[in-house]
Amino acid sequence: MITVKSLFKKYGTNEVLNNINIEFDKGKVYGIVGENGAGKTTLFRCISDLEEYEGEIISNPNPVKNHLGLLLTDPFFFQKITGKEYIQFLCNARNVKIPNIEEKNIFELPLNQYASTYSTGMKKKLALTAILLQGNDFFILDEPFNGVDIQSNIIITEIIHKLKALNKIVVISSHIFSTLSDTCDEIHLLRNGQFIKSVHKTDFHILEAEMKQITIGNKIEKLGLT
Amino acid sequence: MTNRKFQDVGFNPQLAYILLTVLFAGLSIFLFQKTEFAIYIYLLIALTLLGKLSETRRTEFLKICYGDTQLKKIRIIENLIYSIPFFAFLLYKHLIVYAGLLWLLTTILALVNFRTTLNFTIWTPFSKRPFEFMTGFRNSFYILFAAYALTIIAVLINNFNLGVFSMLLVFVTILSYYSKPENEYFVWVHNQNPKVFLLNKIKTALLFSSSIVLPIVLILAIFIPQNIGIILFFFLVALTFLISVIVVKYAAYPDEINITQGIFLALCIWFPPILIILIPFFFKKSENRLSRLLK
């Protein structure tokens, strides 16, 4: 379980996160939604201990970062590292031995090619494969569906269901509501660094309708399309 | 852009250029004193550095901005400007033919472009333990093979200094593997505390660098056995220096090594016993710097 209590984060005078309180339980999938700049990635970086913050994050096991698979929105790769070597590197970092990496290549990536030559979607799939093979208990997936083809989206959705069944904690952010409604148990709406709404699966359709109403409003009419 | 880089690390650009000129002249004199093959090594270094300017994507960008004719002019001028230090030194050494050859090759090089990143994957013996030696080997394998070739030449012509030079060339190449700080994700991802992380980095560096340098050491020790003491001295000092570069790198992390730390390293080259104090000092500093990312 991970508990975030009274979390604040500022960059200079710019307050990015403002009194965040949330609890993540085992065997549950959480969705975090919000506009660009709402603070999703900063929240993930704070939970991961990549950022310093004010407040408290309590986790079991502790420290959470050593059991966390973090998929970044835009994964970074070294020049001249192959897909296979990238997976090897991330597994070495957690002392995990994978005898046959090719066997685990469910996205059928060209593992012997340099990862820097991969497309955006392939890079995301490679980074996801690597953190899955690390054997983590907790996953933060920052826009896992972004840039990924439909077939792989289906696989990723199934992977998330499997992680839930294995009693792992999964936190996802996505800009595609359907991907969250397919996978999440709870969705939390982040705006200006604060959670302004939290809903359970039964009320996802209400949240989606509300978001549509707030987001679209009469903006399309303003375009005056004819 | 270069000026900005100097300013970013708190260095006066004019002073930096003066120091670089002195360093360049010093290294050139050293090279020409140490081996009769210096001229070939010198031309190779100059053309390798200039080759970076012929990178396809860079050339394409310039072509889009300036068009075909202008591009050729720009490329020739920038290649000639970059080769001025080498050209001037060759003139100073009265190697006029080689200076002319350098400018001819420089001009030809300006008219071609090639990918500095190859599309095929270069095999590396270090793929099981990414990443420094693995990516470093792929970037510099030709220098390593050139160093092996120099070692063989050193034995054939019984030039011990050239042999030592080739060993040090390998070490300098290996040091460059640790010159840039990696993205913080690749430190954060380790489930080790800073001390274990640093010790593992040092262990890997010592093991892999020894395996690269060992053929040179063995060849020199077998064929020029009377100097085995000097060979081992340089070998051990270079390994110790490698440790110091690693701890200094992480003492500055996630920033690049700064001028003060660079001066400390330069002092170690001048007087290696300082390493005994410097390594534990920077190891402690590295632990502190890494404690934000590693628990």
Q: Mean of the per-residue pLDDT values for chain A?
A: 92
- Give SS3 for A112: coil
- Give SS3 for A178: helix
Q: Which candidate in B118, B191, B293 is best for mutational testing of the A interface (most A CBs within 10 A)?
A: B191
- Residue B142, min C-alpha distance to chain A (Å): 15
Boundaries of domain holding B260: 132-290
Using an 8 Å Cβ cutoff, are B37 and B46 in contact?
A: no
Residues 6+ apart with CB under 8 A from A88: A98, A101, B127, B128, B130
- B119 vs A contacts (CB less than 8 Å): 117
> Could you give the C-alpha distances from B152 to A129, A166, B170, in angstroms and in order?
45, 59, 14
Boundaries of domain holding A36: 2-74+138-223
The answer to whether residue B16 sits within a structural domain is no
Whether B134 and A112 lie within 8 Å, measured CB to CB:
no
The answer to whether residue B150 sits within a structural domain is yes
Largest CA distance in chain A: 61
- Residue A166, min C-alpha distance to chain B (Å): 22
Please check whether residues B172 and B93 belong to one and the same domain. no
CATH number of the domain to which A50 belongs: 3.40.50.300
Using an 8 Å Cβ cutoff, are B154 and B36 in contact?
A: no
pLDDT of residue A6: 94
**Which of residues B111, B140, B163 is at a domain's end?**
B111
The answer to whether residue A88 sits within a structural domain is no
The answer to whether residue A108 sits within a structural domain is no
Give the one of A80, A90, A117 whose C-beta lies nearest to B138's C-beta.
A80
Residues 6+ apart with CB under 8 A from B88: none
| Distance in angstroms (rounded) separating the CA atoms of residues A193 and A175 | 17
B129: nearest CA partner in chain A: A89
Total domains in chain A come to 1
Q: Which residues of chain B have pLDDT under 50?
A: none
| Distance in angstroms (rounded) separating the CA atoms of residues B141 and B126 | 12
Please check whether residues B159 and B89 belong to one and the same domain. no
Please check whether residues B186 and B223 belong to one and the same domain. yes
What is the DSSP secondary structure assignment for residue B271, as one 8-state letter? -
- A79 vs B contacts (CB less than 8 Å): 117, 135, 139
ipTM value, please give it.
0.91
Cα dihedral across residues B261, B265, B270, B276: positive or negative: positive
Whether A84 and B292 lie within 8 Å, measured CB to CB:
no
HEC-encoded secondary structure of B4-61: HHHHHCCCCHHHHHHHHHHHHHHHHHHHHHHCCCHHHHHHHHHHHHHHHHHEHHHHHH
- A92 vs B contacts (CB less than 8 Å): 129-130
- A48 vs B contacts (CB less than 8 Å): 188
- B191 vs A contacts (CB less than 8 Å): 65-67, 93-95
The answer to whether residue B2 sits within a structural domain is no
Total domains in chain B come to 2
The answer to whether residue A90 sits within a structural domain is no
Cα dihedral across residues A50, A56, A60, A62: positive or negative: positive
Q: Which of residues 183-242 of B touch A (CB under 8 A)?
A: 183-186, 188-191
- A66 vs B contacts (CB less than 8 Å): 191, 295
Show contacts of B250-256: CB within 8 Å, 24+ apart.
B250/B198, B250/B201, B250/B286, B250/B289, B250/B290, B251/B282, B251/B285, B251/B286, B251/B289, B252/B181, B252/B289, B253/B181, B253/B187, B253/B286, B253/B289, B253/B290, B254/B181, B254/B184, B255/B181, B256/B9, B256/B179, B256/B180, B256/B181
Show contacts of B141-150: CB within 8 Å, 24+ apart.
B143/B169, B143/B170, B143/B173, B144/B170, B144/B173, B144/B212, B146/B44, B147/B173, B147/B216, B148/B215, B148/B216, B150/B37
- B128 vs A contacts (CB less than 8 Å): 88
| Single-letter residue type at A199 | V
Please check whether residues B159 and B91 belong to one and the same domain. no
Q: Which candidate in B121, B182, B192, B290 is best for mutational testing of the A interface (most A CBs within 10 A)?
A: B121
Strand partners for A59: A2
Nearest-CA neighbor of B110 among B86, B139, B142, B83?
A: B83
> Percent of chain A at pLDDT above 70?
100
Q: Both tokens of residue A206?
A: 């209400």
**Which of residues B50, B78, B111 is at a domain's end?**
B111
pLDDT of residue B194: 96
Give the one of A52, A85, A116 whose C-beta lies nearest to B130's C-beta.
A85
Please check whether residues B101 and B184 belong to one and the same domain. no
pLDDT in tens, B154-175: 999 988 888 998 999 999 999 9
| Distance in angstroms (rounded) separating the CA atoms of residues A161 and A27 | 10
Q: Which candidate in A80, A102, A134 is best for mutational testing of the B interface (most B CBs within 10 A)?
A: A80
A134: nearest CA partner in chain B: B189
Residue B130 contacts A, CB cutoff 8 Å: yes
| Distance in angstroms (rounded) separating the CA atoms of residues B45 and B48 | 5
Q: Both tokens of residue B33?
A: 């004193």
Whether A89 and B128 lie within 8 Å, measured CB to CB:
no
- A94 vs B contacts (CB less than 8 Å): 189-191
Please check whether residues B136 and B262 belong to one and the same domain. yes
Whether B121 and A84 lie within 8 Å, measured CB to CB:
no
- Residue B116, min C-alpha distance to chain A (Å): 12
The answer to whether residue A195 sits within a structural domain is yes
Whether B127 and A82 lie within 8 Å, measured CB to CB:
yes
Q: Which residues of chain A have pLDDT under 50?
A: none
Please check whether residues B152 and B249 belong to one and the same domain. yes
Write out the DSSP string of B199-232.
Answer: HHHHHHHHHHHHHHHHHHHHHHHHHSGGGHHHHH
What is the DSSP secondary structure assignment for residue B192, as one 8-state letter? S
Residue B182 contacts A, CB cutoff 8 Å: yes
Residue pointed to by tokens 């408290």:
A56
Give the one of B139, B182, B184 whose C-beta lies nearest to A50's C-beta.
B184
Please check whether residues B140 and B261 belong to one and the same domain. yes
The answer to whether residue B118 sits within a structural domain is no
Identify the burial level of B155 via C-beta atoms within 10 angstroms of its C-beta, where 0-12 means exposed, 13-18 middle and 19 or more buried: middle
Give the one of B130, B139, B293 whose C-beta lies nearest to A89's C-beta.
B130
Whether B130 and A86 lie within 8 Å, measured CB to CB:
yes
Q: Mean of the per-residue pLDDT values for chain B?
A: 88
pLDDT of residue B117: 54
